[in-house]
Amino acid sequence: MQDFQTTIAKRISVSGAGVHSGAPVTLSFLPAAVNTGIVFNVIDSAGVRHPIKALVSEVGATDLSTKLANAEGITISTIEHVMAAIAGSGIDNMVLEIDGPEVPIFDGSSAAFLEAFDEAGLSQQSAKRRYIRILKPSRVESGASWAEFIPYEGTRYEVEIDFETPVIGRQKFAGDMDDAVFRKEISRARTFGFMRDVERLWAAGLALGSSLDNSLVIGDDNTVINPGGLRYPDEFVRHKTLDAIGDLSLAGAPFIGCFRSYRGGHRLNASAVRALLADPSAFEIIEMQHSGPVGASKAVSAASTV
């Protein structure tokens, strides 16, 4: 686990299109000072920047993606893949300037964002990194779906999905998470959907930019119709894990504990974070302090909260 906060070493920009709007957008990543956190600056047509903090308190709609909104009513949608890349890279402080209302989808995974961060490089900062350490179980339920945080020495995800369609079925990802695991096992897993839903989504003004280039599509014959097929045998649950990593990063700090979910999604992920933060007895804020042999760290309490 990181002892110190991290930002990117230089500004870098990427351009693409939103999966729901289909509109072109440019997204720039900028270094930020310690304790800034992750902040979106949405640039309007007049060039005015509207800041939105990447925190669960700013989460609005969670249908098909995670959307943030500020007090002005300015929104930024489909943030989960870039937030997963930020969390998976161990970046604590960064400003994201964007000239549209939706983060570009690229190939439907976090891979393009990791490539941008690799090109920019990372810079260690002087302030200690803060963690949310889970002290006792915190659980939310919605029908047959549930999500919970439980104590664990490390950061672990156990995400299970259950779809009636046989090409997906019941899949589970379970493993400890760090930057290497995220990069190898999670980052390339793509968003997915069903061909039967396309016309309904188009009529609702959604998925206008969706294609086989940025989504795994399940056809009417219950097979994946993308050329080349799956990147992982269980790519569907790995993408749900990617979404969870992005959504849970909106707690404002990485967590030490285990996150478990069954048939979860963006709404349930946000509910789980809210429930955790609403119960001060369920967690504590700590900093990692290096001590002893190289590579050894211990946790110390931090006075401030997330």
Catalytic residues: 266
Task: Name every residue whose Cβ is closer than 8 Å to that of residue 169 and which is 6 or more positions away in sequence.
Answer: 162, 163
DSSP bridge partners of 219: none
Q: How open is the CA angle 16-17-19, to the nearest 5 degrees?
A: 135
**Whose structure tokens read 């664990």?**
152
CA angle 273–14–120, rounded 5-degree value: 80
What is the C-alpha to C-alpha distance for residues 235 and 240, in angstroms, rounded to an integer?
9
Burial code (b: 16+ CB inside 10 Å, e: under 16) for 188-227 equals: bbbbbbbeeeeeebeeeebbebbeeebbbbbeeeeebebe
| Chain centre distance of CA 169 | 24
Binding annotation for Zn(2+)? 81, 239, 243
CA pair distance 99, 214, nearest whole angstrom: 21
